[in-house]
Structure 1
Amino acid sequence: MKVLFIQVGGTIDKDYPKVNKGYAFEIGEPAISRILERNFLGFHYEIVSLMRKDSLDMTDQDRSQIRDFCNKSEYTKIVITHGSDTLVETAKTIGQIKGKTIVLTAAYRPERFSNSDADFNVGVAVGALSNILEGTFIAMNGLLIHPDRCYKNEKTGRFEQL
């Protein structure tokens, strides 16, 4: 299996500020590279940093760019690391691309934090690639959900299925 990992930003990639007296986290190098390096993988992969945006700053044009990039890619297995706030919206924009399995995932805490859920969510996303032939899905909270049946519960912050 060959997998393309696409970084578009979000909490998963947030890192401590590089400037003195900086309070806000900044989106750094792809967290996925550190996650994959820590594991004994049975597949080949490539990592592309398409953009580094907080998902709240993502525009319809950004979402179209992500969809077009996936559509043009030679890869048929793709994982997109994204922010959780607009993850469902981006997944719906990507839609179903014939012959491709695309899984979007995120993290509630940056991968740099010891109590991050990033590794788990990426593991669920990669596991899904081996078991689904085609479609776009969201991997969060140990679930794999089709975007049309997925929402983020405003009270709990968890992704749930309709």
Structure 2
Amino acid sequence: MKILFIQTGGTIDKNYPKTNAGYAFEIDEPAVSRVLEKSFIGFEYEVVSLFRKDSLDVNDQDRSVLKAFLESTEHDKIIISHGSDTMPETASFVGKIPGKTIVFTGAYLPERFKESDADFNIGVAVGSVNVLTEGTFIAMNGKLMSPESCFKDAVSGLFETKEI
């Protein structure tokens, strides 16, 4: 089995700027590469950086580029790192792509931070993509959810499932 990891940006990939002045973050190299290198994994993988944006800056043009890439790739097991603020919107936009299992994940703190949830969320995404059949999902906070049935709670910051 081979998993394709796609970086789109978000907090998971953020790092301090390399300049001496400023407080802003910048999107760094894919965090998933560092996580997988230190893990005892039993699968092959490839990492592609499609774009590096904070999720608040991701627009429908970016989503169209992502969807076209997903439709054209030969890979059928795909994990996408994405910022949590607009993850459900992007995952819903991508929708179900026949023959593909797609899992979006991210982190609340950059992977480079000691207390980050990045390793855990990537692990949940990897476990999920191994057992799920086709569809698009979100793996955050130890939960696996459909993009249409979840949201990021504005108070807690956690992903919750909508009441139907």
TM-score, normalised via structure 1 length:
0.99
The aligned runs of 1:69-108 (5 Å cut-off) are 69-108=69-108
Percent identity reads 63
Say yes or no: does 1:16 pair with 2:10: no
**Which residue is equivalent to 2:31?**
31
Which stretch of structure 1 is more off in the superposition, 90-99 or 147-156? 147-156
Structure 2 segments unaligned to the other structure (5+ residues): none
The code of the aligned residue for 1:82 comes to: H
Quote the RMSD (CA, aligned, Å): 0.6
Alpha-carbon distance between aligned partners in 1 of 2:42 and 2:22, rounded to the nearest angstrom: 39
- Residue aligned with 1:130, SS: helix
**Which residue is equivalent to 1:57?**
57
Alpha-carbon distance between aligned partners in 1 of 2:105 and 2:69, rounded to the nearest angstrom: 17
**Which residue is equivalent to 1:126?**
126
TM-score, normalised via structure 2 length:
0.97
- Which segments of structure 1 move beyond 2 Å, counting only runs of 4 or more? none
TM-superposed CA distance for 1:23, in Å, is 1.2
The code of the aligned residue for 2:125 comes to: A
Alpha-carbon distance between aligned partners in 2 of 1:142 and 1:71, rounded to the nearest angstrom: 27
**Which residue is equivalent to 1:152?**
152
Aligned residues: 162
TM-superposed CA distance for 1:16, in Å, is 1.1
The code of the aligned residue for 1:40 comes to: F
TM-superposed CA distance for 1:47, in Å, is 0.2
TM-superposed CA distance for 1:90, in Å, is 0.2
Structure 1 segments unaligned to the other structure (5+ residues): none
